[in-house]
Structure 1
Amino acid sequence: MNDLNSIQDCLVLINGVKIPCVGFGTWKLPDADSTVDLIKTAIDCGYRHIDTAFMYQNEKSVGKAIRTCGLSRSEIFVTSKLSNASHGYENTLKEFEQTMENLGIEYLDLYLIHWPRPLPVRETWKEANEGTWKAFEELYKAGKIKAIGVSNFMEHHLDALLDTANIAPMVNQLELHPRFVQRELVTYCKDRRMIVEAYSPLIRGDFDHPVLVEIAKKYNKSVAQVLLRWSIQQGFVPLPKASSKERILENADIFDFKLSDEDIEAMKVLEELGRTGSHPDTAPF
């Protein structure tokens, strides 16, 4: 990852599509003018990768920001995700059209299955994902999506999908941070040339651990910057969110230092704390 010098530098997906190495997350941002302004501020600060989802209920604001930011569509990498209520072939095609109407753009750069085994299809998740992925492949081949992938998929979810897929997922978006490293799953994905994205890379603001505080002091950086730098050095694409220009700029300023092997080792003490979100097989939604 030594060749990454800014948030606009890219990793390359297996199909050759370039994905900016840091994204701007929009989870919990409202569908409101404030979100439009915040995303445009992020773009003004250099972000070229915006991550949303149908479940976030803010696609309209995300789309408005992208359309009115002053940059051409091709300069912004846009991700959205299929909701848990719309798994299956026909439902997927229907919701994709709604997503595109919400966003008001001509194509998606990346479309993900948000959760592998949601409540609406908990007992028939394999068949539902098979139908969904068939729709994803058709949309991809039609040029409506530049890349297709998944989110929150563990090894057994991926194994089941790959049994019937013609095109393998190009991305897996996972909860990843020093508290929750998912080493075996990350290795599984990288062995299959899936780019790994890290959501909740800032551990939802849990910055008080003394090891993180000490490392941040060492580099004269914030804990948030240390966490994002960790993500970059693991080869992940972190998706931090922020609610102020100051934080947006801070989260981008992570390319002028490098964590040492000793730092990385010291941070392993956080792993006993575990995930902050839901388990993909038992998520209550």
Structure 2
Amino acid sequence: MTVMLADGRPMPRIGLGTWPMDDEQARQAVTHALSLGYRLIDTAARYGNERGVGAAVAESAVPREDVFVTTKLRGADHGYDAALRGCEASLRRLGLDYIDLYLIHWPLPGKDLYADTWRAFVRLREEGLVRSIGVSNFTPAQIRRLAGETGVWPVLNQVELHPGFPQTDLRAWHAEHDIVTQSWSPLGLGHKVLDDPVVTDLAATYGRTPAQVVLRWHLQLGAVPIPKSADTERMRQNIEVFDFSLTPDDMARLDALPGGRIGGDPETHVEL
């Protein structure tokens, strides 16, 4: 199952997140994930595991063109020239000729360099080092600025999204501008979403795991979740979510769970 990005490239509907794995943990996890059928792998320069991810992709029997690799530019590499160097460094660590999707990890408005960084991303795409370009943790106003200054819209915004923090208005705005919503922390582990009685009740009703119920919720929202797991059985369960559906009432119950933001605020978060 894939979703079509605005630039005409298909992307898998679910992937494997790799934070906070180290290189060896990431190598093992990605190796298992690829053998189970995952084709979308998410990493970032800030995670410190690009080498492990790249090694698993290189060692896999899955052809490189069938694996969709996402990585992200770290905060220290904001700015036009620094972003170009940051991409080259990620490519070296990954051992890849190109990155399928390259994201600005955080906007860091205090540095006010994300527009110059985006100009570098446009160049990287034009040069073929990156196939698709997007952002992570950006607000609509920040995305409008990118498009206004370059004429290029990001194809995707990766944001915190889970039951109790459904980002309803942001998702609607993304849809209006043909931007795919990708979910980080999709299982809301900081709020113990998987232990919530609503989730466990739905899991019992459908004969599914709590994680499968939550991931199905993401898919029906139109989002692309990237759950992290190093456990082979949980990995397998997490991609077996395309053969059942939640009702509108089920979806509303999950939307309404208590919660809120777990991670950083895009307006104030600082990343090195």
TM-score by length of 1: 0.92
Alignment of 1:32-51 (within 5 A): 32=24, 34-51=25-42
When residues 215 and 159 of structure 1 are mapped into structure 2, their CA distance, relative to the original with a 3 A threshold, is: same
Structure 2 partner of 1:220: 207
Q: Distance in 2 between matches of 1:123 and 1:201?
A: 27
Q: Distance in 2 between matches of 1:123 and 1:106?
A: 33
Structure 1 partner of 2:171: 186
1:22 aligned partner, one-letter code: I
Alignment of 1:1-285 (within 5 A): 9-32=1-24, 34-117=25-108, 122-125=109-112, 128-204=113-189, 206=192, 207-270=194-257, 272-285=258-271
Identity of aligned residues (%): 38
1:16 aligned partner, one-letter code: G
Q: Distance in 1 between matches of 2:150 and 2:164?
A: 32
Q: Distance in 2 between matches of 1:17 and 1:269?
A: 33
SS at match of 2:262: coil
CA RMSD of aligned residues (A): 1.1
Once the two structures are TM-superposed, the CA of residue 64 in structure 1 deviates from its matched residue by 0.4
SS at match of 2:23: coil
Once the two structures are TM-superposed, the CA of residue 124 in structure 1 deviates from its matched residue by 3.9
TM-score by length of 2: 0.96
Once the two structures are TM-superposed, the CA of residue 134 in structure 1 deviates from its matched residue by 0.8
Q: Distance in 1 between matches of 2:210 and 2:175?
A: 27
Superposed CA offset, 1:5-56 (max 9, x none)? xxxx111111110101101100101112x32122111000000010000000
Aligned structure 1 segments of 4 or more residues deviating by more than 6 angstroms: none
Q: Distance in 2 between matches of 1:105 and 1:11?
A: 23
How many equivalent pairs are there? 269
SS at match of 1:198: strand
Structure 1: any 5+ residue segments left out of the alignment?
1-8
1:21 aligned partner, one-letter code: R
Once the two structures are TM-superposed, the CA of residue 284 in structure 1 deviates from its matched residue by 4.2
